[in-house]
Amino acid sequence: MCDHHPECPPIDQPGWDSAHVLVHHAELGWSMLCNGAIVLDAAARPATVTPLRRRAPRKARVPLAA
């Protein structure tokens, strides 16, 4: 994956986190390094999700007598 010279260290070797960043998504909190590692940003804040409001249960409809 890496075409730098010297080549960036593979994920299973010391110094793997010194590889160059290929893709960075600050809004999602992650980056992909050229050695294939995905680095998660611990400071990234999760998106705010509005909880669903629960509805009151519907009353059973009783058919009208004819």
Give the residue extent of every domain in the chain: 1-45
* pLDDT band at residue 52 using 50, 70 and 90 as cut-offs: low
- Per-residue pLDDT for 50 more than 70? no
Alpha helices by DSSP H, listed for the chain, are: none
pTM confidence score: 0.56
How large a percentage of the chain has pLDDT more than 90? 5
* pLDDT band at residue 66 using 50, 70 and 90 as cut-offs: low
Distance CA 2, CA 34 (A): 5
In 1-66, DSSP assigns E strands to: 21-25, 30-33, 38-40
Distance CA 13, CA 18 (A): 11
Residue 64 is which amino acid? L
Residue-wise pLDDT for 7-49, tens only, equals 888 888 898 888 889 999 988 888 898 888 888 887 655 554 5
